[in-house]
Amino acid sequence: MYNKFFFKKRNKVFVQDIYKALKIKKKITENYIINDIKDLSLAEEQDISFLHSSKYKDLACNSKCKTIITLEKFSKLLPKEKNLVIVDNVLLNLAKVVSFFYPDSLNDNFDDKCSKPNKKKYKYVKFGKNVLVGKNVKIGKKSFIGHNTIIESNVVIGNNCNIGSNVILKKTVIGDNVTILDGAVIGKKGYGFYPHEKKNIRYPHIGVVVIGDNVEIGCNNTIDRGSISNTTIGNNTFLDNQVHIAHNIRIGKNCIITAQVGFAGSSVIGDRVSIGGQAGISGHLKIGNNVQIGGGSGVIKNIPDNTKVMGYPAKDIRSFLKENR
């Protein structure tokens, strides 16, 4: 987890503090420290996590996490040793807990720590004109940073990277030999909020964007950082222009993602997946390894390994071609 580099975390949080933050009145038999808020797959015993859909019941049962925010109706599904924080709206209360742990996490203003790069600090980096660099930015050797590019505080860029012009990087960790083309915007908060009639309530986004080695990211791409976990792009995956990647998406290695493809939040894409232009992948799906998705497809179901699909909604490519002869 890289988020400790990017977000200030409150320390010494006790479970009682959580109840207070959520305005829940409850007699506490046992008060103990909560280290952090994480999703069910990453949470350790001392963390707090959440269950908002029965779809993730097994994950919750098998999670090491002791303290789980959930609905009354899910309490029967979970082992008795879990300490359940019962609320009437999981995601809304999750947002409150995240804001409690990370008080600055809702602030997504531009980084006012950015200024001209110190050439002594970055003596093995080649900068274009008008580049802006924040505090504690790390950039590896032989990397190029194009004109007008903005690299916000705490971003990490590896060796031999080639960042284009007019790029914006925030809350992002980038490997070696990565190319990021002109106009890409990486690491802004995801499109996650709780709709409210008067004024929508924004979820805090404490995940970051993690980009592997040898990745290429196309022009004018938008890659949002994760809400609780990270948005990740595996080694040697290439993205074409105008691709949109929402929060929490995890893309594997050696994928080929063609222009104007869009991913809704929280899907997991395997290795060696190729996706044709303008295809769309719905949220919370699992796309297997070696999957091929035809251009323009709309994927609304999980896809097993080694499958070729096409269509809207996407189906086996042979059926699609037969029906459309």
Q: Which amino acid is at 293?
A: I
Binding marks (x or -) toward its own copies, 67..106, rule CB under 8 A? ----------------------------------------
Q: Is 35 in the site for its own copies (CB under 8 A)?
A: no
> CA 274, 176, 152: angle at the middle one, nearest 5?
100
Least distance (Å) between residue 174 CB and its own copies? 16
Between 69 and 181, CB nearer to its own copies: 181
Q: Is 216 in the site for its own copies (CB under 8 A)?
A: yes
Quote the tokens at residue 54.
Answer: 């029965």
Residue from 36, 39, 47, 240 binding its own copies (CB under 8 A)? 240
Least distance (Å) between residue 184 CB and its own copies? 9
Between 13 and 299, CB nearer to its own copies: 299
Q: Give the span between the Cα atoms of 184 and 187, in whole angstroms.
A: 10
| Binding piece for its own copies, criterion CB under 8 A, among 30-38, 63-71, 78-86, 158-166 | 158-166
Least distance (Å) between residue 166 CB and its own copies? 6
Provide the sign of the torsion angle of the four alpha carbons 98, 103, 104, 106, taken in this order.
positive
Residue from 63, 172, 242, 266 binding its own copies (CB under 8 A)? 242
Q: Is 317 in the site for its own copies (CB under 8 A)?
A: no
Q: Is 117 in the site for its own copies (CB under 8 A)?
A: no
Residue from 220, 289, 290, 307 binding its own copies (CB under 8 A)? 220
Using DSSP, state whether 238 is helix, strand or coil.
Answer: strand
Quote the tokens at residue 79.
Answer: 């082992």
Q: Is 153 in the site for its own copies (CB under 8 A)?
A: no
| Active-site residue (options: 52, 147, 247, 284) | 247
Least distance (Å) between residue 171 CB and its own copies? 13
DSSP secondary structure code for residue 61 in this structure: H
Least distance (Å) between residue 172 CB and its own copies? 13
Q: Which helix (H) or strand (E) holds 156?
A: strand 156-157
Least distance (Å) between residue 232 CB and its own copies? 18
Between 105 and 166, CB nearer to its own copies: 166
Question: Which phi and psi angles does 218 have, rounded to 5°?
Answer: -75, 175
* Residue labelled with tokens 């196309």: 218
Q: Examine the residue annotation and report whether 247 is marked as an active-site residue of this protein.
A: yes
Beta bridge partners of 180: 163, 217
Using DSSP, state whether 164 is helix, strand or coil.
Answer: coil
List CB contacts of 48: < 8 A, sequence separation 6 or more: 15, 18, 34, 36, 37, 38, 65, 67, 68, 69, 85, 97
Between 21 and 300, CB nearer to its own copies: 300
* Residue labelled with tokens 């002109």: 182
Q: Is 164 in the site for its own copies (CB under 8 A)?
A: yes
Residue 109 has a CB neighbour count (10 Å cut-off) of 5
Residue from 71, 268, 285, 296 binding its own copies (CB under 8 A)? 296
Between 80 and 129, CB nearer to its own copies: 129
Number of residues that bind its own copies (CB under 8 A): 71
Residue 195 preceded by cis peptide, ω within 30: no
| Binding piece for its own copies, criterion CB under 8 A, among 14-22, 86-94, 198-206, 225-233 | 198-206
Q: Is 218 in the site for its own copies (CB under 8 A)?
A: yes
List CB contacts of 9: < 8 A, sequence separation 6 or more: 36, 101, 102
Q: Is 130 in the site for its own copies (CB under 8 A)?
A: yes
List CB contacts of 220: < 8 A, sequence separation 6 or more: 182, 183, 184, 185, 241, 242
Q: Which residues are catalytic, by number?
A: 247
